[in-house]
Amino acid sequence: MRFPAIFLRSRGFTIVSSNPRKSIMPDIWFKPLIWMDYRLAVLFTVIAPVVLLIWAAIRKEEAMTRLLIIYWRVASLLMITVYLMIPSWTIGYFTGFAARILMPISLWFWIDINDEIDDHNFSPLKLMLTSWRWAVTVYCTLGTLAFIPFLPCGFAAAPRENPMCRAWLEPTFLYKSWFHANSTPGFLGFLAGIGLTAYLVYFIYFAVVRLGKQGRSAMEK
């Protein structure tokens, strides 16, 4: 059946495999933009901060290292979202939206870290860190606005059957095929559920206890 599949793709259709049957649904014009968004997310929210964290740790820049560690704690919600979307759990649409809001906030919220970085002498690391903070802020702001029309997918009974909702799921299916080919979607979703629970517990602790004690100071007192 390879020839019909090639023919259908050439006519603008996507072959959708869903258990236990196969279905065909038309491509949507913004799907390439969604795939581009995932690629930008890997670049701006994963690769760049990993490089910066290693760089800051080697240079023993305490404030920068602390900022990046806090960022990774917050940005873990984005990875949780990927695993929630693999089994097509609709809560993933809401966690992804929340992650785009929380990540830039985590980069600018801390008064003491902002002051230390501003007072730091000019260096390539400071320049790259500042540029990255602004890049993530712009990327997440635009991404949050662009994602608003897709929030109803969080209430969809069958997001896989909705072309608009499925477009956000397909990159996570590819991720699973690369890194978790032998794991079931339900098991990966279960792990994501545990991660989300731990994330929410820590977030509540931060909002209720730690924020009240230390305010917008990131450094331990």
Given a contact cutoff of 8 angstroms between Cβ atoms, the answer to whether 41 and 136 are in contact is: no
3-state DSSP assignment of residue 170: helix
- The residue range of the domain holding 110 is 29-214
Q: What string of pLDDT tens digits covers the 221 residues of the chain?
A: 433 433 334 344 444 443 433 444 557 888 999 999 999 999 999 999 999 999 999 999 999 999 999 999 999 999 999 999 999 999 999 999 999 999 999 999 999 999 999 998 999 999 999 999 999 999 999 999 999 999 999 999 999 999 999 999 999 999 999 999 999 999 999 999 999 999 999 999 998 998 888 888 876 65
How many domains is the chain partitioned into structurally? 1
Report d(CA 150, CA 99) in Å as an integer. 15
Helix (H) or strand (E) holding 13: strand 13-18
Any domain includes 210: yes
Any domain includes 13: no
Terminal-to-terminal C-alpha distance of the chain: 66
Any domain includes 152: yes
